[in-house]
Amino acid sequence: MWIISSVKARSNISTFDSRMVSLSIILFTLLSLSSRFVISAEKVITCDGEIQRLSCDTGVISVQSVSFGRTNENICSIGQPKDQISNTQCSLEISVIAKRCDGLKVCEINTQGLSVEDPCVGTYKYYTTNYICIPAETSVTCQGGYSSLYCENGRIQINTANYGRTDKHTCSEGLPSDQIQNTSCYSPNALSPVSQRCNGMRSCEVFATHTVFTDPCEGTYKYLAISYNCLPQAVRSKVICEYRNSTLKCEEGTRLQIHNANYGRTESSICPLTNPKVPQQTDCYTSNSKDIVAERCDGKNDCFISASNAVFTDPCYGTLKYLHITYSCVAD
């Protein structure tokens, strides 16, 4: 497995800090390997008020964590008064960048006023975004059309979906300028209907219209953007939200074989909070999750499992977690 790690910094970073950034990217990549194949791991630092740009040469964006604040005196310090860069104990986790960028190949965001909360008034801050590029199929369908998803081998697993507009170029031909200017248009409920219609299917169609999705920006011409994977038929996936229980069960004559498991949070859209403004950590892993699940389930026809801190410990206090398991049913 080949991993490409890189750092993109839109600020003045000292040599020492660059080394620390490189080290954190390596550690971050190693953690990510436990749950999925990673094409590349990136870190972007953007001064407050500037444009943050995330991009994947191959695959699509999956934001792992975003912090807003200041933890280093040298980053984004040119031209700033001493009293505005001396506080290096300032950090706030935010989720808005993940919501806007996950599943896209390129994502540009104006950070001016992006965070509604100021973690340290009077300090000049910056955004630090960790993201990975993951392999995925993509589909873009203009408003009023049908999105057709297909897996030649395996079954569809939806990663991300948005009905709205995030750039001025997609589905823009022949349209008046005022219908493509709003590029911060995100449907609050796009993932659920697409997942319900397509997950586990070999092919599916989704109508890109406000009769299926909430209209997030009246007067703007929209499109449906989806990213998905084709999972091998033999591999199954189970998500159990924190505080809940579930049973893994195989057909008669077969037994469970656990491939991977993680209790934590790596995606913002899975098991969403009732209050989305509460920041959630998305680089949250329990290193021995697979061992715990395998000990309880491997070789059995069925097993009962709870997604709780009592079983797995708490890898990220204050974050709503979930247990994600991949497994197969193998013959006796």
Taking the whole predicted model, whether its pTM rises above 0.75 is answered as: no
Question: What is the pLDDT of the chain when averaged over all its residues?
Answer: 84
SS3 32: helix
Q: What percent of the chain has pLDDT over 90?
A: 50
Q: Each residue of 201-247: pLDDT tens digit?
A: 889 999 999 889 989 999 999 999 999 988 776 788 899 999 999 99
The candidate with the shortest Cα–Cα distance to 278, out of 63, 123, 96, is 96
Residue 1, pLDDT above cutoff 60: no
The candidate with the shortest Cα–Cα distance to 283, out of 35, 1, 5, 7, is 35
Residue 12, pLDDT above cutoff 60: no
- Burial category of 247 from C-beta neighbours within 10 Å (exposed 0-12, middle 13-18, buried 19 and up): exposed
Residue 50, pLDDT above cutoff 90: yes
Residue 3: its pLDDT value, please? 31
What is the mean pLDDT of the segment spanning 260-274? 83
| Structural domains of the chain ordered from first start | 4-134 (2.60.120.740), 137-231 (2.60.120.740), 236-331 (2.60.120.740)
Q: Give the Cα separation of 126 and 135 in Å (integer).
A: 29
What is the mean pLDDT of the segment spanning 13-39? 39
Residue 272, pLDDT above cutoff 70: yes
Kindly write down the DSSP assignment for every residue of 81-136, as one continuous string. Answer: -GGGT----EEEE--HHHHHHTT-SEEEEE-TT--SS-SSTTS--EEEEEEEEE--
Q: Each residue of 74-133: pLDDT tens digit?
A: 999 999 999 999 999 999 988 889 888 888 888 989 999 898 899 999 999 999 999 999
